[in-house]
Chain A
């Protein structure tokens, strides 16, 4: 079983839609969770950290379910500029060992 698993997509949605991605992780001792965004032929960049109580940043909401070992990302009111690959990232030891999921590709269409 992979350490971090994501639905690869692609997700093709119209502008303004709400879309949700899920990610599961195998190591129950995992402590830190993140969503990164990677544009085509670019390096990954941090989108948001995921906190135990859930957190929101504008149109983006992240949730963590430790009991079921999954993380989610919800994007509301999708914009064309949201088109990218979204990477789920999990760490066990002080972020020294970040493990990346394979990514979920999102395309937002006019």
Chain B
């Protein structure tokens, strides 16, 4: 298993600002991902965070809007840039355990943009 800590757990932000979400894992993991869950919706994969290189983004998500860093195997950040109310969502960090193929999630960061 993996224990994932995310912060902030929630924030209220003004339109046009940016917010960085941090994700810390208690063990070294190869695969880390960032998901978004909009109100009443399911999870959408934003990107795969690659250690030491640029993240791999899914269709509809771009680096300028969601820059991601992953300096080592236990830590990653996701920035939501130039926020608008449409960015109000829960952002979840997740890691994949290769042995079991199970995804573990952080508790999420609930973002509200006014």
Contacts and interface: CB of A to CB of B under 8 A. Distances in A.
Nearest to A103: B42
A99 interface: yes
Interface residues of B, number: 17
Dominant SS among interface residues on chain B: strand
A102 B39 CA distance: 11
Contacts of B108: 43
Nearest to B108: A43
B96 interface: yes
Contact of A43 (B44, B45, B92): B92
A89 B108 CA distance: 19
B48 A96 contact: yes
A78 B32 CA distance: 34
Interface of A: 32, 34, 36, 42-46, 49, 87, 89, 95-103
